[in-house]
Amino acid sequence: MGVSKTEGFTEEQNEIANLFKAMSHPARIAIIQYLLSVDSCICGDIVNVLPLAQPTVSQHLKELKNANIIKGTIEGTAICYCLNEATIAIIEKHFKGISNQLQNKCC
């Protein structure tokens, strides 16, 4: 597979693309939706609600964390995850921009 030519795009375009790439799996969407439904979460809780093995869930959590979509805090021997509000705000801003531009267009 070829290397992406990201240098020809703006920093914002690359940032949004990386966020969407990290979210581009149904398990990761399910994790995000689960985190929205609870105050905080321990990795084991997520394993109980997804049809995936614990190592697979951990890999998906790692991808979301690397993209700063989620953040985790260690509480004893457990890791509690939550959404990163700053990153969610970036995603929201992007979609609001699209929505605003669509309101001024017709086809």
* Distance, CA of 58 to CA of 47 (rounded, Å): 9
Whole-model pTM? 0.83
Name the residue ranges covered by the structural domains of the chain. 11-103
Q: Which residues of 44-82 are buried (b: 16+ CB within 10 A; e: fewer)?
A: ebbbeebebeeeebeebbebbbebbbbebeeeeeebbbe
Is the domain spanning 11-103 CATH 1.10.10.10? The answer is yes
Q: Is the pLDDT of residue 2 over 70?
A: no
What are the tens digits of pLDDT across the range 37-87?
987 777 778 999 999 999 999 999 999 999 999 998 887 888 889 999 999
**Six-digit token pair at 65?**
């964390």
pLDDT band at residue 1 using 50, 70 and 90 as cut-offs: very low
**Six-digit token pair at 74?**
């260690």
